[in-house]
Protein backbone atom coordinates (compact mmCIF):
# COMPACT_ATOMS: atom_id res chain seq x y z
CA UNK A 1 0.00 0.00 0.00
CA UNK A 2 2.78 2.44 0.92
CA UNK A 3 5.62 1.04 -1.22
CA UNK A 4 4.95 3.60 -3.98
CA UNK A 5 5.34 6.48 -1.51
CA UNK A 6 8.80 7.90 -0.91
CA UNK A 7 10.44 6.85 2.36
CA UNK A 8 11.70 9.51 4.78
CA UNK A 9 13.60 8.77 8.01
CA UNK A 10 14.06 11.41 10.72
CA UNK A 11 15.77 11.33 14.10
CA UNK A 12 14.98 12.97 17.39
CA UNK A 13 17.70 14.02 19.79
CA UNK A 14 17.68 10.75 21.78
CA UNK A 15 20.00 8.70 19.52
CA UNK A 16 20.96 10.41 16.23
CA UNK A 17 23.98 8.12 15.76
CA UNK A 18 21.73 5.05 15.59
CA UNK A 19 19.43 6.83 13.11
CA UNK A 20 22.41 7.63 10.87
CA UNK A 21 23.61 4.03 11.00
CA UNK A 22 20.12 2.77 10.13
CA UNK A 23 20.04 5.07 7.11
CA UNK A 24 23.51 3.96 6.02
CA UNK A 25 22.50 0.30 6.27
CA UNK A 26 19.64 0.74 3.76
CA UNK A 27 21.28 3.49 1.66
CA UNK A 28 18.79 6.18 2.62
CA UNK A 29 19.58 9.80 3.52
CA UNK A 30 18.69 10.95 7.01
CA UNK A 31 15.91 13.53 6.85
CA UNK A 32 16.63 17.15 7.68
CA UNK A 33 15.00 18.20 10.93
CA UNK A 34 15.79 20.43 13.90
CA UNK A 35 15.14 19.64 17.56
CA UNK A 36 15.93 22.29 20.15
CA UNK A 37 15.13 22.91 23.80
CA UNK A 38 14.27 26.34 25.13
CA UNK A 39 15.70 27.65 28.39
CA UNK A 40 12.56 26.61 30.26
CA UNK A 41 12.88 23.01 29.00
CA UNK A 42 10.23 23.12 26.29
CA UNK A 43 11.06 21.20 23.11
CA UNK A 44 10.61 22.54 19.61
CA UNK A 45 10.82 20.48 16.42
CA UNK A 46 10.93 21.60 12.81
CA UNK A 47 10.91 19.38 9.73
CA UNK A 48 13.10 21.16 7.18
CA UNK A 49 11.93 19.40 4.01
CA UNK A 50 8.75 18.51 2.19
CA UNK A 51 7.14 15.31 3.47
CA UNK A 52 3.64 15.62 2.04
CA UNK A 53 2.43 12.13 1.06
CA UNK A 54 5.66 10.47 2.30
CA UNK A 55 6.06 7.28 4.35
CA UNK A 56 7.79 8.72 7.43
CA UNK A 57 9.81 6.85 10.07
CA UNK A 58 10.78 8.66 13.30
CA UNK A 59 13.72 7.12 15.21
CA UNK A 60 13.57 7.91 18.92
CA UNK A 61 14.32 5.48 21.76
CA UNK A 62 12.65 6.75 24.92
CA UNK A 63 15.61 6.21 27.22
CA UNK A 64 16.64 8.73 29.85
CA UNK A 65 15.67 11.45 30.23
CA UNK A 66 12.56 9.46 29.31
CA UNK A 67 10.02 12.24 29.84
CA UNK A 68 11.89 14.64 27.56
CA UNK A 69 12.40 12.07 24.81
CA UNK A 70 8.79 10.88 24.89
CA UNK A 71 7.52 14.46 24.71
CA UNK A 72 9.91 15.27 21.86
CA UNK A 73 8.69 12.20 19.97
CA UNK A 74 5.06 13.29 20.41
CA UNK A 75 5.95 16.77 19.11
CA UNK A 76 7.75 15.25 16.12
CA UNK A 77 4.70 13.12 15.34
CA UNK A 78 2.45 16.18 15.49
CA UNK A 79 4.78 18.14 13.21
CA UNK A 80 4.88 15.33 10.67
CA UNK A 81 1.13 14.75 10.80
CA UNK A 82 0.43 18.45 10.22
CA UNK A 83 2.84 18.34 7.27
CA UNK A 84 0.53 15.74 5.63
CA UNK A 85 2.69 12.62 5.80
CA UNK A 86 0.96 9.56 4.33
CA UNK A 87 1.97 7.29 7.23
CA UNK A 88 3.94 7.78 10.46
CA UNK A 89 5.92 4.94 12.02
CA UNK A 90 7.54 5.52 15.41
CA UNK A 91 10.80 3.53 15.60
CA UNK A 92 11.37 3.06 19.33
CA UNK A 93 14.22 0.55 19.81
CA UNK A 94 13.97 0.97 23.58
CA UNK A 95 10.44 1.56 24.89
CA UNK A 96 10.62 3.51 28.15
CA UNK A 97 8.12 2.96 30.99
CA UNK A 98 7.77 -0.68 29.86
CA UNK A 99 8.37 -1.87 33.43
CA UNK A 100 5.17 -0.09 34.54
CA UNK A 101 2.94 -2.52 32.66
CA UNK A 102 0.45 -3.62 35.34
CA UNK A 103 -1.15 -2.66 38.65
CA UNK A 104 0.99 -4.52 41.17
CA UNK A 105 -0.40 -2.55 44.11
CA UNK A 106 -3.39 -0.28 44.78
CA UNK A 107 -3.59 3.23 43.31
CA UNK A 108 -0.72 2.99 40.82
CA UNK A 109 -0.87 3.77 37.08
CA UNK A 110 -0.22 1.52 34.11
CA UNK A 111 2.17 3.99 32.53
CA UNK A 112 3.11 1.80 29.56
CA UNK A 113 -0.53 1.90 28.48
CA UNK A 114 -0.62 5.68 28.95
CA UNK A 115 2.42 6.11 26.67
CA UNK A 116 0.76 3.86 24.07
CA UNK A 117 -2.38 6.03 24.23
CA UNK A 118 -0.34 9.22 23.87
CA UNK A 119 1.47 7.94 20.77
CA UNK A 120 -1.78 6.86 19.15
CA UNK A 121 -3.52 10.13 19.99
CA UNK A 122 -0.60 12.14 18.59
CA UNK A 123 -1.05 10.44 15.21
CA UNK A 124 1.33 7.46 15.07
CA UNK A 125 0.07 4.85 12.60
CA UNK A 126 2.56 2.09 13.41
CA UNK A 127 5.24 1.29 16.01
CA UNK A 128 8.52 -0.59 15.49
CA UNK A 129 10.21 -1.62 18.72
CA UNK A 130 12.57 -4.27 20.09
CA UNK A 131 12.51 -6.64 23.08
CA UNK A 132 9.72 -5.10 25.11
CA UNK A 133 10.08 -5.75 28.83
CA UNK A 134 6.59 -7.27 28.75
CA UNK A 135 5.27 -8.60 25.45
CA UNK A 136 1.66 -7.83 26.40
CA UNK A 137 2.49 -4.14 25.87
CA UNK A 138 1.87 -4.81 22.16
CA UNK A 139 -1.78 -5.22 23.14
CA UNK A 140 -1.82 -1.78 24.77
CA UNK A 141 -1.80 -0.26 21.26
CA UNK A 142 -4.80 -0.04 18.96
CA UNK A 143 -2.39 0.28 16.02
CA UNK A 144 0.06 -2.16 14.43
CA UNK A 145 3.16 -2.98 16.52
CA UNK A 146 6.15 -4.74 14.93
CA UNK A 147 8.17 -6.34 17.72
CA UNK A 148 11.77 -7.27 16.89
CA UNK A 149 14.26 -9.27 18.95
CA UNK A 150 17.97 -8.66 19.45
CA UNK A 151 18.44 -12.44 19.50
CA UNK A 152 19.84 -12.80 15.93
CA UNK A 153 22.50 -10.16 16.65
CA UNK A 154 23.39 -11.72 20.02
CA UNK A 155 23.55 -15.26 18.62
CA UNK A 156 25.82 -14.19 15.77
CA UNK A 157 28.27 -12.74 18.30
CA UNK A 158 28.11 -15.76 20.61
CA UNK A 159 28.64 -18.28 17.81
CA UNK A 160 31.78 -16.44 16.73
CA UNK A 161 33.15 -16.48 20.26
CA UNK A 162 35.78 -19.23 20.86
CA UNK A 163 35.98 -21.59 23.83
CA UNK A 164 32.39 -21.26 25.06
CA UNK A 165 31.73 -25.02 25.21
CA UNK A 166 30.29 -26.47 27.33
CA UNK A 167 27.68 -23.70 27.63
CA UNK A 168 24.41 -23.35 29.50
CA UNK A 169 21.91 -20.49 29.16
CA UNK A 170 20.61 -19.12 32.45
CA UNK A 171 17.70 -16.80 33.14
CA UNK A 172 18.51 -14.49 36.08
CA UNK A 173 14.91 -14.73 37.28
CA UNK A 174 11.89 -16.95 36.74
CA UNK A 175 10.12 -14.23 34.70
CA UNK A 176 12.79 -14.43 32.00
CA UNK A 177 12.51 -18.19 31.44
CA UNK A 178 10.74 -17.84 28.09
CA UNK A 179 13.53 -15.64 26.75
CA UNK A 180 16.14 -18.00 28.17
CA UNK A 181 14.45 -20.99 26.55
CA UNK A 182 14.53 -19.30 23.13
CA UNK A 183 18.31 -18.80 23.43
CA UNK A 184 18.94 -22.31 24.76
CA UNK A 185 17.00 -23.86 21.86
CA UNK A 186 18.78 -21.71 19.28
CA UNK A 187 22.20 -22.63 20.70
CA UNK A 188 21.28 -26.27 21.40
CA UNK A 189 22.40 -26.08 25.04
CA UNK A 190 20.88 -26.57 28.49
CA UNK A 191 18.78 -24.09 30.47
CA UNK A 192 18.96 -22.96 34.10
CA UNK A 193 17.30 -20.23 36.13
CA UNK A 194 17.83 -18.31 39.35
CA UNK A 195 14.92 -17.66 41.71
CA UNK A 196 15.21 -14.24 43.34
CA UNK A 197 13.48 -11.97 45.81
CA UNK A 198 13.56 -8.22 45.12
CA UNK A 199 14.50 -6.17 48.20
CA UNK A 200 14.37 -2.72 46.54
CA UNK A 201 14.64 -1.02 43.14
CA UNK A 202 18.41 -1.52 43.20
CA UNK A 203 18.90 -4.71 45.25
CA UNK A 204 17.83 -8.32 44.79
CA UNK A 205 18.39 -11.41 46.90
CA UNK A 206 19.06 -14.63 44.88
CA UNK A 207 17.43 -17.58 46.63
CA UNK A 208 18.44 -20.71 44.71
CA UNK A 209 19.56 -22.05 41.34
CA UNK A 210 17.54 -24.51 39.25
CA UNK A 211 19.66 -26.38 36.71
CA UNK A 212 23.22 -27.64 36.29
CA UNK A 213 26.06 -25.12 35.80
CA UNK A 214 29.02 -26.91 37.40
CA UNK A 215 32.11 -26.90 35.12
CA UNK A 216 30.13 -25.06 32.41
CA UNK A 217 30.27 -21.59 30.95
CA UNK A 218 27.07 -19.67 31.71
CA UNK A 219 25.29 -17.14 29.51
CA UNK A 220 22.87 -15.03 31.56
CA UNK A 221 20.22 -13.45 29.33
CA UNK A 222 17.74 -10.68 30.15
CA UNK A 223 15.92 -7.94 28.28
CA UNK A 224 17.05 -4.96 30.36
CA UNK A 225 19.44 -3.86 33.06
CA UNK A 226 19.85 -0.51 34.75
CA UNK A 227 21.61 -1.18 38.07
CA UNK A 228 22.95 -4.67 37.19
CA UNK A 229 21.69 -5.96 40.56
CA UNK A 230 19.83 -8.96 39.15
CA UNK A 231 22.64 -9.97 36.78
CA UNK A 232 25.49 -9.66 39.26
CA UNK A 233 23.55 -11.53 41.97
CA UNK A 234 22.73 -14.33 39.51
CA UNK A 235 26.37 -14.47 38.39
CA UNK A 236 27.49 -14.85 42.00
CA UNK A 237 25.18 -17.78 42.70
CA UNK A 238 26.27 -19.46 39.42
CA UNK A 239 29.93 -19.21 40.44
CA UNK A 240 29.06 -20.57 43.89
CA UNK A 241 27.61 -23.62 42.10
CA UNK A 242 30.80 -24.24 40.15
CA UNK A 243 30.35 -22.28 36.88
CA UNK A 244 33.59 -21.70 34.93
CA UNK A 245 32.93 -18.28 33.34
CA UNK A 246 29.77 -16.18 33.44
CA UNK A 247 28.79 -14.04 30.46
CA UNK A 248 25.69 -11.87 30.37
CA UNK A 249 23.56 -10.43 27.59
CA UNK A 250 20.85 -7.78 27.68
CA UNK A 251 19.01 -6.13 24.79
CA UNK A 252 18.93 -2.76 26.55
CA UNK A 253 21.59 -1.44 28.94
CA UNK A 254 20.51 1.78 30.63
CA UNK A 255 23.40 1.70 33.05
CA UNK A 256 24.39 4.40 35.50
CA UNK A 257 27.42 4.70 37.74
CA UNK A 258 26.09 2.08 40.17
CA UNK A 259 25.53 -0.43 37.36
CA UNK A 260 29.02 -0.02 35.93
CA UNK A 261 30.59 -0.31 39.38
CA UNK A 262 28.69 -3.51 40.11
CA UNK A 263 29.78 -4.99 36.79
CA UNK A 264 33.43 -4.16 37.46
CA UNK A 265 33.25 -5.82 40.88
CA UNK A 266 31.18 -8.82 39.76
CA UNK A 267 31.83 -12.39 38.62
CA UNK A 268 30.64 -11.45 35.10
CA UNK A 269 33.38 -11.79 32.48
CA UNK A 270 31.56 -9.76 29.82
CA UNK A 271 28.21 -8.04 29.39
CA UNK A 272 26.94 -8.06 25.80
CA UNK A 273 24.35 -5.45 24.89
CA UNK A 274 23.11 -3.40 21.92
CA UNK A 275 23.09 0.25 20.93
CA UNK A 276 19.30 0.47 21.29
CA UNK A 277 20.09 3.36 23.64
CA UNK A 278 23.12 5.68 23.55
CA UNK A 279 25.83 3.88 25.51
CA UNK A 280 29.50 4.74 25.95
CA UNK A 281 30.99 2.19 28.37
CA UNK A 282 33.91 3.51 30.43
CA UNK A 283 37.25 1.65 30.29
CA UNK A 284 37.22 -1.57 32.29
CA UNK A 285 33.43 -1.80 32.32
CA UNK A 286 33.32 -5.30 30.73
CA UNK A 287 30.62 -4.09 28.31
CA UNK A 288 30.56 -5.08 24.61
CA UNK A 289 28.08 -3.11 22.47
CA UNK A 290 26.60 -4.72 19.33
CA UNK A 291 24.98 -2.66 16.58
CA UNK A 292 21.32 -3.27 15.69
CA UNK A 293 21.17 -0.69 12.89
CA UNK A 294 21.06 -3.32 10.11
CA UNK A 295 18.27 -5.21 11.89
CA UNK A 296 16.17 -2.06 12.29
CA UNK A 297 17.02 -0.85 8.80
CA UNK A 298 15.89 -4.11 7.21
CA UNK A 299 12.65 -3.98 9.23
CA UNK A 300 12.01 -0.38 8.10
CA UNK A 301 12.64 -1.33 4.48
CA UNK A 302 10.25 -4.28 4.69
CA UNK A 303 7.54 -2.24 6.42
CA UNK A 304 7.84 0.39 3.69
CA UNK A 305 7.58 -2.27 0.96
CA UNK A 306 4.68 -4.06 2.72
CA UNK A 307 6.79 -7.20 3.15
CA UNK A 308 6.84 -9.66 6.03
CA UNK A 309 9.40 -9.09 8.77
CA UNK A 310 8.90 -12.49 10.42
CA UNK A 311 12.04 -13.88 8.76
CA UNK A 312 14.07 -11.39 10.82
CA UNK A 313 13.24 -13.55 13.86
CA UNK A 314 15.06 -16.52 12.35
CA UNK A 315 18.62 -17.33 13.35
Q: Mark whether 301 is an active-site residue.
A: no
Per-residue pLDDT reduced to its tens digit, 147-201:
999 999 999 999 999 889 999 999 998 888 999 999 999 999 999 999 866 666 6
Our CA angle for 186, 289, 180, nearest 5°, is 30
Taking residues 122-131, what's their average pLDDT?
98
Average pLDDT of the chain to the nearest whole number: 93
Per-residue pLDDT reduced to its tens digit, 52-101:
999 999 999 999 899 999 999 999 999 999 999 999 999 999 999 999 98
Tell me the CA distances in angstroms from 88 to 11, 54, 99, 164, one per residue in order: 13, 9, 25, 43
What does the alpha-carbon distance between residue 54 and residue 51 come to, in Å, rounded to a whole number? 5
Q: Is the CA virtual torsion 247, 248, 249, 254 positive or negative?
A: negative
Residue 135: per-residue pLDDT? 85
What does the alpha-carbon distance between residue 296 and residue 65 come to, in Å, rounded to a whole number? 22
Domains of the chain with bracketed CATH: 7-149+293-313 (3.40.50.2020), 151-290 (3.40.50.2020)
Residue 163: per-residue pLDDT? 86
Sheet holding 287-290, edge to edge: 204-210, 190-198, 167-171, 217-225, 246-253, 268-274, 287-290
The pLDDT of residue 104 is above 90: no
Q: Which of 196, 214, 239, 301 is catalytic?
A: 196
The pLDDT of residue 281 is above 70: yes
What does the alpha-carbon distance between residue 57 and residue 89 come to, in Å, rounded to a whole number? 5
What does the alpha-carbon distance between residue 282 and residue 273 come to, in Å, rounded to a whole number? 14
Amino acid sequence: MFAHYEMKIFSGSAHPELARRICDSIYQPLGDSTSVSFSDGESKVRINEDIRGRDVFLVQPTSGPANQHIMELLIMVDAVRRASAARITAVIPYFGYARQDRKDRPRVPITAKLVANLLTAAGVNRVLTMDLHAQQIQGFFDIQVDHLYARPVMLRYLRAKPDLDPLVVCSPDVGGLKMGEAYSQALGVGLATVAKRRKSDTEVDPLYLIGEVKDRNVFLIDDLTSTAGTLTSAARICKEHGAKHVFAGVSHAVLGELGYQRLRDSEITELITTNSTPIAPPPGSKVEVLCIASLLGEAIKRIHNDESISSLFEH
